[in-house]
Amino acid sequence: MEIINLEGTEDTPKILLDQGNGIFEISGRSLPEDTAEFYQPILDWLESYSSSPNDKTEFVFKLEYFNTASSKLILDILSSLEDIEGTSVAWYFHEDDEDMEEAGEEFSELVEIPFEFKTY
């Protein structure tokens, strides 16, 4: 599968989806102008990936900030991961960032995926 490797900007997160190396990560800040358009290629990639996934998929979220529109798309990503056997989520948050910790906890309650919470 083609690798998605988007460099992060002030408004968009860094995204690396690399099936060959088993790297699935979204990090940085997410407040793109058109959230649905920005995340559609990621959702399409995950749909393709789900037809022939790795045995184990650890999806890493290391977000510093995301807006309300992004939270819906993050939930869409998590929902698409629910269908992939062997998936887990590593939710990273800065040790002082209670909002990001709570956001991860809320997402973890909405989907049937094991979450691991890690500070940095």
User: Domain containing 35 — which CATH number?
Assistant: 3.30.750
Return the pLDDT at 90: 98
Per the structure, the complete domain to which residue 112 belongs is given by 4-119
Q: Using one digit for the tens of pLDDT, what is the confidence trace for 64-101?
A: 999 999 999 999 999 999 999 999 999 999 999 999 99
DSSP letters for 85-111? TTEEEEEEE-TT-HHHHHHHHHHHHHS
Instruction: Tell me if the pTM is above 0.75.
Output: yes
Return the pLDDT at 100: 98
Place of tokens 């056997």: 85
Structural domain tally of the chain?
1
Q: Using one digit for the tens of pLDDT, what is the confidence trace for 4-62?
A: 999 999 999 999 999 999 999 999 999 999 999 999 999 999 999 999 999 999 999 99
Q: Integer distance in angstroms from the first to the last C-alpha of the chain?
A: 31
